[in-house]
Chain A
Amino acid sequence: MALYKVILKPIDKFMGMRRLFPILLLLLVFVACRNNNNTAGQRPKIAVVVSTLNNPWFVFLAQTAAARVKELGYEPRIFDSQNNTALETDHFDDAIASGYKAILFNPTDANGSVVNVNKAKAAGVPVFCMDREVNSPAPTSQILSDSYSGCVELGKLFVKTLHQKGTYVELLGLVADNNTWNRSKGFHSVVDEYPGLKMVAQQSADFDRNKAMDVMQSVLQAHPDIDAVFCGNDAMAMGAYQALVAAGKANKVKVLGFDGAEDAVQAIKDGKILATAMQFPKIMAQTAANDADEYIKGKRDFPAKIPVAVEMVTPSNVNEYIAYGKKN
């Protein structure tokens, strides 16, 4: 009996406890989860879904949006769609299921991304588009660069610089993106008024620097005597410039870009590129974050589209600008 009390009873007790271990473990996990939920409850989450993080311009857009979201007291998370609408759909599903309060959205495809916005709207999650447009009234608001007007200004400079005559090439961005066509249409709304200016090739290089270099190399084989290249973004302008350097034509051919990316601003300073149109991703990102905050706090009347002005950067005013915005 004494032996039982001293040795066997504690062992029996311990064995009984062992049976309780799985239950205790589950309880521990449950408590931990509850604690996490409590943390999330204190800081509501806002998703930043961006078309690609493979381009520094979009990295800046996403990080600025996330920083503003954090400043406003929310928990931001950046989702990279890698220019893939299927992946973008997964991100939306994730954000909706995880209880995100709003989505700051840089869409991959003006039409293909509509289904994702509709899904969020149906779930009561407001979507604020940044920089890129979707062809739908479903987003709560779309904050977009005035690409068309920016390219009207570039078109004016283009015509003046070429003295209304010459041959040129146009490199388009992603054909499914509205910005591609808004930029092209703005440019042509001016340039097409001058019959002395002839476009010898118009090809897409998907807003990609390497693709632009490849496209430009093959275009130069067919049209070696062009006077200018108009590119739908700065990455393509830099790629086109590289191809022109390789062909020994960089000094003769004028290159124009769009975005206000760091390397393009430097290239204008160095006399390699004629001009770009400076976008203001900071303004777009911060406006989207502020609007999301106001929506969460109860505001509902937002303009469907909010254009953000772009400014032309040329050798004459390049010292007033830095990448992604104005010099302070």
Chain B
Amino acid sequence: MNKAFKYGLWLVVLVLLAFKSVYFKKLSDVKKTDAGAFRPDAYAQNFWKTKLPAAEAKAVDIDQLLATLKNNPHSAFQTYGHVIAIGSTRFFMVKGHGKVTDVTPDEVILNTAGSAPVQLATTYVFGNAVRDASGMVQITEFSNTIDLSNVSGEIDKIIRKEVLPPFKQAVKKGDNVDFIGAIALNEAHLNLSNLEIIPVNLKLQK
């Protein structure tokens, strides 16, 4: 009898230990917890729909910007440039109209209304140009820099998947294009030739 009580007690202890060591959680609850984490794709979608239109509305005409850059570069950087990081590179949201002079696998070359040759990037759309040029993203919104970088990656993905494919399919030499996009310029090494625009809005006129 004593022995049975002893074994019974041990069994109770073991069952209690096993019960306390394992716990079950609903998968939906776990997903809910993950949902609290920062989602750069959701941020980028929201940026695209609610913030970018305001930035596009403020875009400076490319020919006007180039003229200001030639006459008073520092003033142009201060007036139209945006940046998040410390450094001499600034990003500009520009708009304009141009005639297609060449179409290559990686870019579309345009002559703007003011006869400036510019390149619309159609393949290598990566980096912070659109995020920073908008002036709508603040570093204080992010607790770590990797989230900030991932936002750029997601914005660029939208451009590569939504803006570029229909344009690349239709564009031909001689077409006219209305464009809005972002450019990067380094004030310490200012180079106004081979200007590359990361497009956010393209309208083709045949």
Partners in one complex: yes
Binding site for B on A (CB under 8 A): 133, 137, 143-144, 146, 148-149, 152-153, 155-156, 159-160, 178, 182, 185-186, 189-190, 280, 283, 287, 303-311, 317, 320, 326
Neighbouring A residues of B152 by C-beta, 8 Å: 149, 152
Neighbouring B residues of A146 by C-beta, 8 Å: 85, 145, 149
Chain B residues 75-115 with CB under 8 Å of chain A are: 83-89, 106
Cβ–Cβ contact A189 & B153, under 8 A? yes
Residue of A nearest to B128 (CB): A149
What are 26 of the A-B contact pairs (CB < 8 Å)?
A: A137-B143, A148-B145, A148-B149, A149-B127, A149-B149, A149-B152, A153-B127, A160-B106, A160-B124, A178-B146, A182-B149, A185-B146, A190-B126, A280-B87, A303-B139, A303-B140, A304-B140, A304-B143, A305-B139, A305-B145, A306-B139, A307-B84, A307-B85, A307-B86, A307-B148, A308-B86
Neighbouring B residues of A143 by C-beta, 8 Å: 86
The answer for the CA separation of A76 and B117 in the assembled complex, in Å, is: 52
Residue of B nearest to A164 (CB): B123
Task: Indicate whether B188 reaches chain A with its CB closer than 8 angstroms.
Answer: yes
Cβ–Cβ contact A307 & B145, under 8 A? yes
Task: Indicate whether B64 reaches chain A with its CB closer than 8 angstroms.
Answer: no
| Chain B min CB distance to A313 (Å) | 11
The answer for the CA separation of A317 and B139 in the assembled complex, in Å, is: 30
Neighbouring A residues of B149 by C-beta, 8 Å: 146, 148-149, 152, 182, 185-186, 189
Task: Indicate whether B21 reaches chain A with its CB closer than 8 angstroms.
Answer: no
Task: Indicate whether B46 reaches chain A with its CB closer than 8 angstroms.
Answer: no
Neighbouring A residues of B139 by C-beta, 8 Å: 303, 305-307
Neighbouring A residues of B85 by C-beta, 8 Å: 146, 149, 306-309
Task: Indicate whether B144 reaches chain A with its CB closer than 8 angstroms.
Answer: yes
- How many residues of B sit at the interface, in one of the four size bands? 20 to 34
Chain B residues 138-180 with CB under 8 Å of chain A are: 139-140, 142-146, 148-149, 152-153
> Among the interface residues A280, A283, A307, which one has the most CB atoms of the partner chain B within 10 A?
A307
Cβ–Cβ contact B86 & A152, under 8 A? no
Cβ–Cβ contact A182 & B124, under 8 A? no
Residue of A nearest to B144 (CB): A305
Cβ–Cβ contact A308 & B144, under 8 A? no
* A-B complex: 3 closest residue pairs judged by Cβ atoms: A309-B87, A148-B149, A307-B85
Neighbouring A residues of B25 by C-beta, 8 Å: none
| Chain A min CB distance to B164 (Å) | 13
Residue of B nearest to A181 (CB): B146
Neighbouring A residues of B143 by C-beta, 8 Å: 137, 304
| Chain A min CB distance to B149 (Å) | 4
| Chain A min CB distance to B125 (Å) | 10
| Chain B min CB distance to A123 (Å) | 24
The answer for the CA separation of A208 and B145 in the assembled complex, in Å, is: 25
Given known pairs A149-B152, A156-B126, A159-B124, the reply for A311 and B145 (CB within 8 Å) is no
| Chain A min CB distance to B70 (Å) | 20
The answer for the CA separation of A189 and B83 in the assembled complex, in Å, is: 21
Neighbouring B residues of A287 by C-beta, 8 Å: 86
Given known pairs A182-B145, A186-B149, A311-B186, the reply for A152 and B126 (CB within 8 Å) is yes
Residue of B nearest to A146 (CB): B85
Residue of A nearest to B188 (CB): A326
| Chain B min CB distance to A273 (Å) | 20
Residue of A nearest to B106 (CB): A160
Task: Indicate whether B189 reaches chain A with its CB closer than 8 angstroms.
Answer: yes
Residue of B nearest to A149 (CB): B128
The answer for the CA separation of A152 and B128 in the assembled complex, in Å, is: 9
Neighbouring A residues of B106 by C-beta, 8 Å: 160
Neighbouring A residues of B89 by C-beta, 8 Å: 309, 311
The answer for the CA separation of A326 and B190 in the assembled complex, in Å, is: 13
Neighbouring A residues of B186 by C-beta, 8 Å: 311
The answer for the CA separation of A304 and B148 in the assembled complex, in Å, is: 13
The answer for the CA separation of A39 and B84 in the assembled complex, in Å, is: 41
Neighbouring B residues of A304 by C-beta, 8 Å: 140, 143
Neighbouring B residues of A156 by C-beta, 8 Å: 124, 126-127
Cβ–Cβ contact A144 & B145, under 8 A? yes
| Chain B min CB distance to A81 (Å) | 23
The answer for the CA separation of A190 and B128 in the assembled complex, in Å, is: 13
| Chain A min CB distance to B41 (Å) | 13
The answer for the CA separation of A232 and B142 in the assembled complex, in Å, is: 25
Neighbouring B residues of A307 by C-beta, 8 Å: 84-86, 139, 145, 148
